[in-house]
Structure 1
Amino acid sequence: RERETQQLKKLSEQLRADIAAKSLSSETARITPEDAITMISEIEKVKPVGRLVVNLPMIMAGDPSADLPVEDGDKLHIPRVNNTIAIVGEVQHPSSHRFAANLALDDYLKLAGGFRKRADQDRVYVIRADGSVMVPENSWFSVSKNSLKAGDTIVAPLDTEYKDNLSLWAQVTQIFYQSAVAIAALNSF
């Protein structure tokens, strides 16, 4: 819990710095200072759980590298076997589906209706049933390493740097306009 408390403090400090940098760099800040303060205060309210992911099969096999010292008050929680895969975040229909070994990550995303417009498709990750996180690799030789397991949760995060087409074209048009003005000014000499 102490370590998580320190990490949450670092996260809120990093978030403050990111928001300050973003508001200085963008012409039209989408996050108001009030919103930023609210977000930071919400993060600071989070109570650390003090959870540690352990490799129980290795511990039970007697592997000394998996040994873990315990302290008074520590608890071991072994969750029930969960035969589903949950899909959450920026998908059309966040849902859970029965685990099928022959289905891949993309298949489950399709079962949830696919990505929403503001999804960050390059940063999809999987939270394993044991609490660990797996980031899928987009290469053909990593299939066995990235296979899903019963109880996993697929997370499709929000793209925080999303720009709709209108904003993008407005910026492109502005660049062309400024370039044309600069060229016209140079030609007048």
Structure 2
Amino acid sequence: MEDGDMIYVPRKPSAVLVFGEVQNPSAILYKPGLKVKDYIALSGGFTRDADVDNVFIIKANGIAISQESGKSLIEWDSERKRFIWGWAYNDILNYKLEPGDAIIVPTKIKIPTMWRPLIRDVIQIIYQSALTVYTITKL
């Protein structure tokens, strides 16, 4: 900063933050009517490692909203002025954001399955069970 420079701090946030597994994590200027999927598209879309099922939102006031938190059997659609039935309407990607909200796209955790030890253990259990049954029938 130099003499005479001014800093402007808006009273209300004017951007939506997009973090995590997107191509270009950034702050995007708020545009009324855009949904979570629109802001993710503006950030370049999901990466290969994105956990799309667990995307969540942190509101400007600190409240977290996830796929699970917004579920209800009946939902009021203010645009269409009617009730919506069922779970599909509550998709987090269709959530309308407000200025200052942050979208978090977590990394999908991949847990490798160790097939050889699993197969060995299953075969050993089957063998020991068969041996036990054979021994009991011979008594």
Is the counterpart of residue 184 in structure 1 residue 127 in structure 2? yes
Report the residue type matching 1:148 in the other structure. L
Q: What is the deviation of 1:141?
A: 4.0
- Contact kept in structure 2, 1:89 and 1:155, CA below 8 Å: yes
Report the residue type matching 1:176 in the other structure. I
Report the residue type matching 1:95 in the other structure. S
Q: Which one has more relative contact order, counting CA pairs under 8 Å at least 6 apart?
A: 2
- Contact kept in structure 1, 2:60 and 2:100, CA below 8 Å: yes
Higher Rg of the two aligned structures: 2
Structure 1 vs Structure 2: percent identity of aligned residues?
28
What is the CA deviation profile of residues 108-139 of structure 1, one whole-angstrom value per residue up to 9, with x for unaligned ones?
22332333455443332222223333334363
- Secondary structure at 1:130's aligned position in 2? coil
Cα distance in 2 for partners of 1:86, 1:180 equals 52
Residue equivalent to 2:30: 99
Residue equivalent to 1:55: none
Cα distance in 1 for partners of 2:130, 2:58 equals 59
Q: What is the deviation of 1:181?
A: 2.6
Unmatched 5+ residue regions in structure 2? 1-8, 72-86, 135-139
- Contact kept in structure 1, 2:20 and 2:104, CA below 8 Å: yes
Superposition map of 1:1-189 within 5 A: 80-136=11-67, 137=70, 139-142=87-90, 146-159=95-108, 162-164=109-111, 167-168=112-113, 170=114, 172-188=115-131, 189=134
What is the CA deviation profile of residues 149-184 of structure 1, one whole-angstrom value per residue up to 9, with x for unaligned ones?
12211112345xx225xx22x2x4432231123223
- Secondary structure at 2:53's aligned position in 1? helix
Taking structure 1 as the reference length, the TM-score comes to 0.43
Report the residue type matching 1:104 in the other structure. K
Cα distance in 2 for partners of 1:114, 1:90 equals 9
- Contact kept in structure 1, 2:33 and 2:96, CA below 8 Å: no
Cα distance in 2 for partners of 1:133, 1:163 equals 25
Taking structure 2 as the reference length, the TM-score comes to 0.54
Report the residue type matching 2:15 in the other structure. T
Cα distance in 1 for partners of 2:116, 2:48 equals 23
